[in-house]
Amino acid sequence: MSACILHGVGRVSISYSVAAMSLCATVVASAQTPAPSSPAPTQVAVAGDDDAGRTDAIDLIRQWRKKPPKSDTAHESAWAFVPILSAKPSSGVKFGAGADVEFKLGDPTTTRFSTLTTSLAFSTHKQLSVSENLRLYGGHNRWMIEGQNHFNGKSSDNVPLGTSSIGEVSPDIRYYSLQFIDTYYFRFQPSLYVGAGLVFQRQTDIEPFPSDSPDWEASPFREYSAAHGFDPGKQTSAGVRIAMLFDDRDNPNDAIRGWYALASYRHNFDGFLGGDSSWQQITADVRTYRAITSDKRHKLAFWAIGNFVTSGTAPYLVLPASGGDELGRSTRGYPEGRFRGEQQIYAEAEYRSLVTRNGFLGMTAFVNMTTISNKATGEQLFDSTAFGAGAGLRVLVHKHSRSNLCVDVAFGGDGSHGLYIGFRDAF
């Protein structure tokens, strides 16, 4: 799964918000000796899978500093740093910095790159955001650890459940989110992993924005919380997760071929680590990638998610929602929490292409759809559907891991739109 540095930039509200693009400074560490002279210019465009032949930000920085190119190596570590700047009425102006590091923990010829992404940001509304996303591969990919951990000042739309809900009626929900989702996988067949882990999510200091809104008490969040006995100021979900993962992609950051298929079961317990209720959730996440030209410079990517609360009652802010996947990369074109409910199906198709001959710049165009149920009103999946579409640019930061700086613009229904900036593709 891709890691996003710019968590605060990822969502733009329907009412008003602006996100500023960040500049990326990259430093690379390698034990290899630089080549004594520059290679001859490439006469033909690099193939989509010719990682060593591409030109990345590291190469351009070395050229700018008039240093000889690095000798090609598939196991060099890389660091990247980006400033964070975003604005949203309910959270104010947010500014900070993010860092991403890629490295290998085992034999570099048989082990995938591990990634660690961190960020630290502050807002003019005095909210602090700290996050750490990780994906670690052991030697020969025999084991893997994935984690999404944060303490973030966040905001969400406050809407009735279901895809047919109307936005911008109630005040936004502003809160702090403390989250630990860490899963430990062990490989027992080629490309097939089984895993287990703990899940802890707590929302505190929940309040309306604007703070003096007279509609807060009658808002969907307050009504849902009161109907199911949840504290409107603090809510907690905690439990265990078991998962099975199949992943034979050629590269998890920017795949050209292969499949990713995850099935997980989450059981939350009332009273466990302060959990407010017992409820269960099943999630399926499937992705596949196909080159559509012989040189592999053009490809298609497909993504589908199913989230189903199968029993019990989940707190409002952890129900399946737009932008509610663990890395917040889904439903581009809609703000986080614009649609929310007990069951969700999401699908996306994306066209990806290398634009420049050297593979440094790429582009993408995508369409997506989501449908969400509302148990209380009887709204079923596909009774209503929300569509989004957009396009974006890709800048190759580290060619050996195929890590891109991604800038996307997306549009949804009813004037919804967003600017999204992050490392690695959405899926």
Report the CATH number that the domain containing residue 418 is assigned in CATH.
2.40.160.50
Work out how many domains the chain is built from and give that number. 1
Q: For residues 179-196, give the mean pLDDT.
A: 96
In this prediction, residue 43 carries a pLDDT of 60
The candidate with the shortest Cα–Cα distance to 88, out of 10, 159, 151, is: 10
pTM, two decimals, is 0.86
User: Is residue 122, in this structure, part of any structural domain at all?
Assistant: yes
How confident is residue 319, by pLDDT bands cut at 50, 70 and 90? Answer: very high
Mean pLDDT over the full length of the chain: 87
| Residue 286 or 76, more confident | 286
> Among 54-58, 230-234, 402-406, which range has the highest average pLDDT?
230-234
| pLDDT exceeds 50 at position 252 | yes
Which residue type does 108 have?
P
Exposed / middle / buried, residue 413 (Cβ in 10 Å: 0-12, 13-18, 19+): middle
CA pair distance 240, 316, nearest whole angstrom = 19
The answer to whether residue 20 is domain-embedded is: yes
pLDDT of 25 higher than 80: no
For residue 18, what pLDDT is reported? 34
* C-alpha dist (Å) from residue 153 to 173, 284, 329, 339, 426: 11, 28, 18, 20, 22
197 close to 240: Cβ distance less than 8 angstroms: yes
pLDDT of 90 > 60? The answer is yes
The one-letter amino acid code at 2 reads: S
Which residue range(s) make up the domain with 68? 7-36+48-423
pLDDT for the residue 212:
87
Question: Is residue 408 a contact partner of residue 332, using CB atoms and an 8 Å limit?
Answer: yes
- In this model, does residue 74 exceed pLDDT 70? no
Q: Lowest-pLDDT range, 3-12, 311-320, 413-422? A: 3-12
pLDDT tens digit sequence for 360-395: 999 999 999 999 999 999 999 999 999 999 999 999
pLDDT of 266 over the 70 cut = yes
Structure tokens at 47: 């193939």
Band (8; pLDDT cuts 50, 70, 90): very low
Tell me, what's the pLDDT at 32? 39
Q: What is the mean pLDDT of residues 41-63?
A: 85
Check whether 59 has a pLDDT greater than 60. Answer: yes
Residues 6+ apart with CB under 8 A from 316: 220, 221, 224, 225, 230, 235, 340
**pLDDT (tens digit per residue) in 103-157:** 999 998 899 999 999 999 988 888 889 999 999 999 999 999 999 999 999 999 9
The mean pLDDT value for 279-286 works out to: 98
d(CA 262, CA 283): 8
Q: Is residue 43 part of a domain?
A: no
With pLDDT > 70 as the criterion, what percentage of the chain qualifies?
87
Instruction: Please give the Cα distance from 57 to 65 (Å, whole number).
Output: 12
Taking the C-alpha atoms of residue 216 and residue 236, their distance in angstroms, rounded to an integer, is: 21
89 pLDDT band (50/70/90 cuts)?
Answer: low
Contact between 6 and 82 (Cβ < 8 Å): yes
pLDDT at 12 over 70: no
Residue 31: the pLDDT is: 35
Indicate whether 98 belongs to any domain: yes
**Structure token pair of residue 57:** 């930000």
- Within-domain flag for 42: no
**Confidence band for 326, pLDDT divided at 50, 70 and 90:** confident
**Is residue 236 included in any domain, yes or no?**
yes
